[in-house]
Amino acid sequence: MVRFSASILAADLSKLEKEIKRVEPYIDEIHLDVMDGHFVPNLTFAYPIFEAVKSSTQLPIDVHLMVTNPEFHVEKFLQLGVSRITVHVEACTHLHRTIWQIKEVGSEAFVSLNPATPVSLLEQIIGDVDGVLVMSVNPGFSGQKFIAKSLEKIRKLHEWKERYGLDFYIAVDGGINELTAHPVVDAGANILVMGYGIFKNDNLKALSDNFRK
């Protein structure tokens, strides 16, 4: 079964709670993009928005940390009751430590790869993570075009799962919609993170029925 994760970056933030309630029947989790204007060229949500989202829904919340030194922020999100933290391999000097800092308190730990970062960089950590988030756009903004080369990375991760008998999620984030969802799922992805694909979609029910059955 494919999970849908709604990236609130594309929601109408002036009515956040209403927006979450509107899409809630069609999704499985909320995706919160935390950007620091340094690791990525944009600034977004921090702790108060996380708390606002948490008070609006019972769904699990995935915090996608697009920040340098993500380990500085992990503790606070864990205290606030985050379900999953996703950190970038490019931003973590001590990735193993950060992954286990997250897992030790019972939260899920995902690792993310920018489009130019190869899957091979995860070889030593893949047995420790709960999932991999393949970025299919350069992180920073909603509404960008899907980078098709990401499919190769999803296939490779899927191959690893089979070859090494591992069980981890393969999530994909960026430019996912009715058209790109099919090849991504065929390649092996089982979590689709969508901003525009969910919040700016007039036929969300059809998309959800199609993939979440």
Binding-site residue ranges for substrate? 7, 64, 140-143, 173-175
Query: CB-wise, 57 or 144, nearer to ligand DX5?
Result: 144
What is the C-alpha radius of gyration for the chain, rounded to an integer number of angstroms?
Answer: 16
Burial of 28: CB neighbours in 10 Å, binned 0-12, 13-18, 19+? middle
Name the nearest CA neighbour of 158 among 193, 134, 194, 182.
Answer: 134
| Local structure of 171: helix, strand or coil | strand
33 interacts with Zn ion by CB under 5 A: yes
Annotated binding site: 7, 31, 33, 64, 140-143, 173-175
For residue 157, give the nearest of 194, 197, 129, 116 by alpha carbon.
Answer: 129
Q: Report the residue number, 64 or 73, with the smaller CB distance to Zn ion.
A: 64
Site for Zn ion in 64-93 (CB under 5 A): 64
Nearer to ligand DX5, 35 or 102 (CB): 35
Active site residue 167: no
Of 129 and 213, the one with the shorter C-beta distance to Zn ion is 129
Question: What is the Cα–Cα distance from 11 to 19, expressed in whole angstroms?
Answer: 6
With contact defined as beta carbons under 8 Å apart, do 4 and 30 qualify? no
Task: Identify how many contiguous H helices and E strands the chain contains and give both numbers.
Answer: 8, 8
Q: Catalytic pick from 36, 62, 130, 173?
A: 173
33 catalytically annotated = yes
Smallest gap, in angstroms, from Cβ of residue 209 to ligand DX5?
19
The least distance separating ligand DX5 from the CB of residue 99, rounded to whole angstroms, comes to 19
Q: What is the signed CA dihedral for 40, 41, 44, 50, rounded to 10 degrees?
A: 0
- Give the residues lining the site for ligand DX5 (CB under 6 A): 7, 9-10, 31, 33, 64, 137, 139-144, 173-176, 193-197
End-to-end CA distance of the chain: 7
The CB-of-134 to ligand DX5 minimum distance in angstroms stands at: 11
From residue 163 to residue 182, what is the string marking binding to Zn ion with x (rule CB under 5 A)? ----------x---------
Q: Which amino acid is at 40?
A: V
Residues in the chain: 213
Out of 12, 33, 36, 209, which one is annotated catalytic? 33
- Any idea which residues carry the catalytic annotation? 33, 173
Question: Which residues lie near Zn ion (CB under 5 A)?
Answer: 33, 64, 173
